[in-house]
C-alpha cells in the first residue's frame, strides 16, 4: 500500500466532518480526501432509488480518480440505503455509518430513547433491524428533523443558529406518548453533532446525546492498523457542483488541516 494513499470520507455535506474529527484523534498522520456532495444536498428528501444511484455512481468515479485505501460513507442516509450496493461495486474496504442505537440502548436509564434523523433515514428497514437487535426491550421514538441539516451547514459557515426549530423538534418528541421519559438522544445524522450545544439547550442537560463518529473512527483505524501513512501536504476537501457551495467554510477547513476547497 502506497503510504500516501488517502482515506476517502464521503458525505452529502459537511456533517461527515464530525467523523473526520474523531478519525484525526486516532490516525493524525493519515492522508484524507473529504468529498462533499453539495450538488446533491440534501439527501433526506430524495427517494431511495435516487440516493442509491447517486452515491454508487459518485463513489465509483471518486475511487477511480483518487485511488483511496478505504472509503467511509460518513452519512447515515446514504449508508442505510446504499452501503450494500457500494460494497458490491468497489474493490476497497467500505465503512458505513448507522444510527447509534446499540450504545444508546446500553446508556439509557429510563428505557426511552429519542432518535432524530432525516426523513429518509428514519423510515429505513435498516433502522427497524437495529431496533429489533439492540433495543427490543426499550422504547425508541423516532422523528424526522430535516431542518437540522441546513442549520448545521450554516453554523459551520459562521451563521448563528435559530433555536426555535430545534426547540420545536424537542417539543414534538416530548409530545409523543412516553416522550417525556427520553433520557438518551440518538443523533442519526452526522450533521447533528455540530449542533450539540443547541440540542442540549433544547432537550436539557440531562438528556445524553449519542452519535456514531467515535465508533466509525475506531472501525477505520482497526481496518488500517497495519498500514503506514505519509502526508504530502494538507488534506483535501472536494465538492460536487459549483465551488461557491463551499463559501464560508474556509475557517472550519483550515482549522482541520484542509487546503482550499476543490471542485470534483
Which of 216, 230, 223, 196 is CA-nearest to residue 25?
Answer: 216
Among residues 211, 228, 247, the one where a domain terminates is 211
User: Which residues does the chain have with pLDDT short of 50?
Assistant: none
Same domain? 200 vs 117: yes
Q: 77 near 51, Cβ under 8 Å?
A: yes
Say if 1 falls within a structural domain.
no
User: Is residue 121 one of the residues assigned to a domain?
Assistant: yes
pLDDT at position 87: 96
The count of domains in the chain is 2
2 part of a folded domain? no
> 78 is written with which cell numbers?
446514504
**C-alpha cell, 210:** 449519542
Whether residues 111 and 241 share a domain: the answer is no
- CATH number of the domain enclosing 173: 3.40.50.1860
Per the structure, the complete domain to which residue 148 belongs is given by 101-211
Q: Please check whether residues 120 and 190 belong to one and the same domain.
A: yes
CA distance 120 to 144: 8
Alpha helices of the chain — where are they, by DSSP H? 17-26, 48-66, 76-89, 101-107, 119-122, 125-134, 147-156, 163-175, 196-203, 213-223, 250-255
pLDDT in tens, 191-233: 999 999 999 999 999 999 999 999 999 999 999 998 999 988 8
Residue 138, domain member (yes or no): yes
193 in the same domain as 118: yes
**pLDDT tens-digit readout, 64-90:** 999 999 999 999 999 999 999 999 999
Among candidate residues 75, 95, 120, 208, the one labeled active-site is 75
User: Do both 137 and 199 map to the same domain?
Assistant: yes
75 an active-site residue?
yes
Q: Which of 22, 189, 194, 195 is catalytic?
A: 189
Q: What are 18's three cell numbers?
A: 464530525
pLDDT, residue 235, reads 97
What are the residues whose beta carbons fall under 8 Å from the beta carbon of 18, sequence distance 6 or more?
A: 74, 190, 191, 193, 194, 211, 213
* Residues 85 and 30 occupy one common structural domain: yes
What pLDDT score does 232 carry?
Answer: 83
User: Does residue 207 fall inside a structural domain?
Assistant: yes
Q: Is there a single domain that holds both residue 207 and residue 130?
A: yes
Shared domain check, 111 and 90 = no
The confidence score (pLDDT) of residue 184 equals: 98
User: Tell me, what's the pLDDT at 241?
Assistant: 96
Amino acid at each position: 500500500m502506497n503510504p500516501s494513499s488517502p482515506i476517502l470520507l464521503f458525505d452529502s455535506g459537511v456533517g461527515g466532518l464530525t467523523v473526520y474529527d474523531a478519525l484525526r484523534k486516532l490516525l493524525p498522520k493519515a492522508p484524507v480526501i473529504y468529498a462533499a456532495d453539495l450538488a446533491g444536498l440534501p439527501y433526506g428528501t430524495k427517494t431511495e432509488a435516487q440516493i442509491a444511484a447517486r452515491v454508487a455512481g459518485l463513489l465509483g468515479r471518486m475511487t477511480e480518480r483518487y485511488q483511496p485505501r478505504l472509503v467511509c460513507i460518513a452519512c447515515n442516509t446514504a449508508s442505510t440505503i446504499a452501503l450494500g450496493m457500494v460494497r458490491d461495486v468497489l474493490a476497497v474496504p467500505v465503512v458505513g455509518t448507522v444510527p447509534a442505537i446499540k450504545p444508546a440502548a446500553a446508556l439509557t436509564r429510563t428505557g426511552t430513547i429519542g432518535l432524530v434523523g432525516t426523513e429518509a433515514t428514519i423510515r429505513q428497514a435498516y433502522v427497524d433491524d437495529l431496533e429489533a437487535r439492540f433495543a427490543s426491550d426499550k422504547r425508541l421514538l423516532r422523528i424526522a428533523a430535516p431542518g437540522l441539516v441546513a442549520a448545521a451547514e450554516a453554523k459551520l459557515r459562521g451563521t448563528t443558529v435559530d433555536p426555535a426549530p430545534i426547540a420545536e423538534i424537542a417539543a414534538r418528541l416530548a409530545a409523543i406518548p412516553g416522550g417525556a421519559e427520553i433520557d438518551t438522544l440518538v443523533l442519526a445524522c452526522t450533521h447533528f453533532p455540530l449542533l450539540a450545544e443547541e440540542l442540549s439547550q433544547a432537550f436539557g442537560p440531562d438528556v445524553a446525546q449519542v452519535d456514531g463518529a467515535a465508533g466509525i473512527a475506531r472501525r477505520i483505524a482497526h481496518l488500517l492498523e497495519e498500514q503506514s501513512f505519509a502526508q504530502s501536504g494538507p488534506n483535501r476537501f472536494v465538492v460536487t457542483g459549483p465551488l461557491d457551495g463551499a463559501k464560508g467554510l474556509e475557517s472550519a477547513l483550515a482549522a482541520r488541516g484542509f487546503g482550499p476547497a476543490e471542485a470534483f
